[in-house]
Chain A
Amino acid sequence: MTAGVSSMTERRKFGPVSQRLLDDLRAIVGVDRVSTSDTDRVIYSVDSFWLPQMWHDRGVRTPTPDVIVHPGSTEEIAAILTLANRDRVPVVPWGGGSGTQGGALPIHGGILLDVKRLNRILAIDETSLTLRAQAGVNGGQLEWALNERGLTLPHYPASANGATLGGYLAPRGSGTISTKYGKAEDLVMSLEVVLANGTILRTPDVPNHASGPDFMRLFLGSEGTLGVITEATMRIARLPETRLFRALLFKDVATGLEAGRRLMVQRLDPLVIRMYDPHSTASLVKKVLGYELDGAYMILGFDGWADIASRQETRALAICAELGARDLGREPGERWWNHRYDFYYPPFGFHLPAMYGTVETVATFSGIERIYHAKKAAIEGTFGSIGVQYIGHFSHWFPWGASLYDRFVLQDVPRDPGEAQALHDRIWDVAVRTSLAHGGMINEHHGVGLKLHRFMRAQYGAAWPLLQSLKRALDPNGIMNPGKVGFEVDDL
């Protein structure tokens, strides 16, 4: 199966959205919260994945949902899933629609479940520093609400203004300060999930126990294929006394990676290490921040108590100096922080008619540099002659390794959408298979969705049947976001 549109339109196992089902849905959520309008169906047929955007840009519709439903509670979602399971109709959860992997695309039609009405903050525990909220709450609004109390959910993805809390968790997202505070999956304490048969599950209130397997983790990364996340309890933090930023310039990726490795293995607890490769430094950093530099541009950040953050920064700068880094000072670091999301506003972000994709990966320190060079060589070697460019930065760091947020971009795209899609898929094949061949994962934080669906068996090998059996147990009719995250409709 490819990520393509044509292969997405077959409806093999699924029942139709009948008038009876529509009536039943209206009885659950109300007449004005069930839409079969052509306008809504088209708007909900595109998310942040390049592929459907390209088809729409060329005047071709991609598969639409049959009906969009706007539930307002967990119980309503349970009732909707019970009906969908009865009639074997696909259900595709939709939060903000800002995912880049096509995870929210209704490729088999059916019910599109927009969860944004589940947008309440249910509880803030300032003693334990936890937050319980419904899954549809908007990330930007949630952060404003926490900031009013001097608190923060330390998950700052670029998509926060459009994304939802459930959308943070379902694809296991990372944010700008994940290096210190962890990914979304590290911040979650417990979940409420609705299964395909309408069962409402609540995981234990605390995540760190020894009471058997941690089944909460099953739903992190499942992207709606195993259940619908409806609530979450998250760890939050107090806004820090200070945040310090600084920019440095390394002569190349290798020395910058070594500096980052030393900071992480020496447990200096940086808030941010973000290193742009020389190509990104010369292009994106110049375009958005206005600095013309030759080398690998790194942002280094620390937060917390002012005296401690300052000491951490001093030690980090000494490590960087040992490796020959040029200290560019505080202003460019702060400028990056203040403008870190500008990269994603038009026209700074990549946009049509160009073809682009983030082929990110993650690996240990032993392998990450090798992967970077291998992918650069593979993509530019295979597709450089037609103008494909490869850029990357290293943005999410762990005590054992780092993520490579690398991207390809092509300005001169075939006019025929089928040809454009085929080329797109070939570039992805080369990129992902190169990551896998060198010890990387197929991704680090954007999720799998439709885009990486076809690589899941290669990723997991002999372990894949285990995931398939779990899918069958939880969703025997295969109605939950079918055709995503590696779960083939035919497997069921």
Chain B
Amino acid sequence: MSKEPVSAHAATPDPSASVTGTDPVEATPIEATESCRYCWMCRHVCPVGHVTQRETLTPHGWALMIASVKRGTLQWNAETAAALYACADCGLCRAHCVTDQPLPEAIVSARAGVAAAGIAPPEAYALHESLRAWGSRYGARDRRVPQAQGDVGIFVSDTALHAAPHALDAARRLLDTVGVRAVPVAFGRSNGHVASALGFPDTAAALVRAVLDDVDAAGCRTLLVLGAEDQYAFERLYRERLYHERLGLDWPADVAIVSVSTVLADAHANGRLAFHRLDEPPPYAYHDPCHAPRIAWNAAAPRALLRAVLGADPVELFWRGSRAHPCGAIGGLEVTQPLMAARLAEARLADAAASGARWLIADDPGCLQNLTRHRADGVEVRGFYELLAERLAS
């Protein structure tokens, strides 16, 4: 017999209890707007709605806008397109929908139409061109080396390589310490999420194919990921958005996706990883990374490791765990809507400050880069892997 904790409102819905799951192959995502246009049940979790308080920039608002265009009461133009591209594609609305309405997929489908019509925000095209031409949002061809082989790989995304190379180096050093020899996989490639979120499914599919080819060439049975965006892309994005229309793209069933922090936490629990505990650390919080609420992100692992290094429990943000808000480094938002991305980052830092944290610790490379840019008074952003590597016991 299930028993809800004694709390006021219904807890975060259990996806396994979903009554009407959405078949990823059969669903036509944009039709979700018909269900969501007059539904307010996920309003409370939308981060963009929270920082703007504009009805238009909420799940209900986006769904109604798309449905209104369908009916001719609105048209796609620069104004509506800007509103459409304000969604962070964080997936919180769907994660909190007991009937699993694929609204993020509907919004992305609408963006594909807008992008094809040439009326997406100009920044979206510029970012897309970089992804299309270079396979990386950073606009530079990374030195391609033959894909090394190994049982364990570590996905080295374009963001990890360019935005947080120090985090990548620290993570690999930690893995070496516990005897995990992870070969770099898909060196410098985008995982496809940004292209998908911007409404360029063909480019997303091409990027995914390249990643899948590298995974296949590596021959690994376990692929390690540094943050939640990669895990989301591999576990859900390929299947839910790109499977049906994009030639059967899906993650290979025999390759497990595991977060680096899970491996490290297991090693620490088994006595294979030890740290010099920091004396008198400041109050700290862990930033549940963007996308974490929409997947089974192992948020206990980083918290356990931080507890080991810092000797104290983290203080918790209000927007944490299953309701964790993104930091703004998501779906290309920091390029297409920099002010919105900044507001999300500032809200995250304000949440940390209000919670009493003096350090906000981030593991996902994109989150780390974005939060660091928006450092707030009294809150220092720290890299999770770097902090652990600094405190390694020899």
Contacts and interface: CB of A to CB of B under 8 A. Distances in A.
Contacts of A57: 71
A330 B38 contact: no
Interface in B36-77: 36, 38-45, 50, 53-56, 60-61, 64-65, 67-68, 71-74
Contacts of A331: 1
A42 B10 CA distance: 32
Contact of B55 (A43, A59, A119): A43
Interface string A137-166: 011110111111000111010011111000
Contacts of B71: 56-59
A61 B73 contact: yes
Contacts, number: 151
A153 B8 contact: yes
B68 A48 contact: no
Given A42-B74, A56-B71, A342-B98, A162 B35 contact: no
B159 to A, nearest CB: 30
A96 B54 CA distance: 10
By secondary structure, the A interface counts as: loop
A339 B20 CA distance: 14
B253 interface: no
B6 A243 contact: yes
Contact of A39 (B36, B41, B43, B80): B80
Given A241-B6, A351-B38, A94 B44 contact: no
Contacts of B56: 39-40, 43-44
A127 interface: no
Interface string A70-98: 10000000000000000000000010111
B19 interface: yes
Contact of B44 (A40, A61, A141, A348): A141
B97 A345 contact: yes
A349 B99 CA distance: 11
Given A46-B38, A346-B101, A56 B68 contact: yes
Contacts of A419: none
Interface string A43-69: 110101000010011111100000000
Nearest to B40: A162
B144 interface: no
B4 interface: yes
B8 A147 contact: yes
B143 interface: no
B2 interface: yes
Interface residues of B, number: 45
B40 A39 contact: no
Contacts of A334: 1-4
Contact of B53 (A98, A117, A241, A337): A117
A153 B8 CA distance: 8
A53 B61 CA distance: 13
A291 interface: no
Contacts of A347: 20, 35, 99
A88 to B, nearest CB: 26
Nearest to A242: B6
Contact of A116 (B19, B36, B53, B68): B53
A239 B7 contact: yes
Given A44-B55, A114-B53, A334-B2, A160 B9 contact: yes
B178 interface: no
A70 B54 contact: yes
Interface string B76-89: 00011001000000
A147 B8 CA distance: 7
A43 B35 CA distance: 16
A58 B53 CA distance: 28
Query: In the complex, which of the residues A98, A114, A288 has the most CB atoms of chain B within 10 Å of its own CB atom?
Result: A98
B53 A70 contact: yes
Given A70-B53, A334-B2, A345 B98 contact: yes
A152 B41 contact: no
A59 B73 contact: yes
Nearest to A153: B8
Contact of A341 (B41, B65, B80, B323): B41
A57 B67 CA distance: 8
A161 B40 contact: yes
A305 interface: no
Nearest to B20: A347
B202 to A, nearest CB: 28
Given A39-B83, A342-B98, A46 B8 contact: no
B48 to A, nearest CB: 13
Given A97-B55, A138-B43, A140-B44, A341 B10 contact: yes
Nearest to A340: B10
B72 A143 contact: no
A148 B355 CA distance: 12
Contacts of A98: 40, 43
Contact of A38 (B38, B41, B74): B74
B52 to A, nearest CB: 9
B338 to A, nearest CB: 15
Contacts of A339: 10, 98
Contact of B79 (A38, A345, A346): A38
Nearest to B32: A346
B318 A144 contact: yes
Nearest to B71: A59
Contacts of A159: 40
A136 B50 CA distance: 11
Contacts of A16: none
Given A341-B98, A345-B39, 11 more contacts: A42-B68, A44-B56, A46-B64, A56-B73, A59-B72, A61-B73, A97-B40, A138-B43, A139-B44, A140-B9, A338-B4
Interface of B: 1-4, 6-10, 19-20, 35-36, 38-45, 50, 53-56, 60-61, 64-65, 67-68, 71-74, 79-80, 83, 97-99, 101, 318, 323
Interface of A: 35, 37-40, 42-44, 46, 48, 53, 56-61, 70, 94, 96-98, 114, 116-117, 119, 136, 138-141, 143-148, 152-154, 156, 159-163, 239-243, 288, 330-331, 334-335, 337-342, 344-349, 351-352
7 contacts: A35-B54, A39-B80, A48-B40, A144-B318, A161-B42, A341-B41, A345-B98
